[in-house]
Amino acid sequence: MHAFTRIVVCSLILAAPLAGADQERPRHHWLRRITWAAGCAASFWDAQTTLTAVRRGAVESNPLLANQQGAPRWGRIIALKAGTCAGTFVAETVLTRHRDSDWYWSATNAGIAASFAGAAIHNIRVSDRLAKDNQRPN
């Protein structure tokens, strides 16, 4: 099973028991949960594709997540990924009780998912380019 598929399946399994946790919610809370799981999955897909690209010779371009030489600081990266997932879950489940908040959080989660998916796709392109460059004879 591909790493991204495993991440999506694990995120959905983790989110499934939580889907019924707030029964007083309007009928659209399921969309909020699905987009939350998608955001978490895309976030960890970004980390996985970063690892692949770094193994092929890429450097991390975000100075907050890399050392002076461009090597990823994996502790910070994993903390960011886990913190994003946990933080959005807590914020949307505990802190917000407004009727229309499900739509707001669904849109926020979709934006997070799109952002991390875009970063992962960029990482794949960089990784593929480096793999091709490494195969060329000098």
pLDDT, greater one: 31 or 4? 31
Task: Give pLDDT, residue 134.
Answer: 82
Residue 68 in any domain: the answer is yes
Residue 4 lies in a domain: no
Report if residue 107 sits inside a domain: yes
Q: Is residue 90 a contact partner of residue 99, using CB atoms and an 8 Å limit?
A: no
Residue type present at position 76: R
What mean pLDDT comes out for the span 41-68? 94
pLDDT 10s digits, 7-26: 555 555 555 555 445 445 55
Query: Quick check: is 88 in a domain?
Result: yes
Number of domains composing the chain: 1
Q: Where in the sequence is the domain holding 91, given as residue range(s)? A: 27-123
Inside any domain, residue 42: yes
Identity of the amino acid at 81: K
* 3 state DSSP class of 72: strand
Q: How far apart are the first and last CA of the chain?
A: 36
Within 8 A by CB and 6+ apart from 8, the residues are: 37, 38, 41
CA atoms within 13 A on the CB side of 75: 1
| Residue 9 neighbours by CB under 8 Å, 6+ apart | 1
For residue 66, give the 3-state DSSP assignment: strand
Domain assignment of residue 128, yes or no: no
Query: Look-up: residue for tokens 């193994």?
Result: 55
Which tens digit of pLDDT belongs to each residue from 56-85? Answer: 999 999 999 999 999 999 999 999 999 989
pLDDT at 10: 55
Could you tell me which residues are beta bridge partners of residue 66? 72
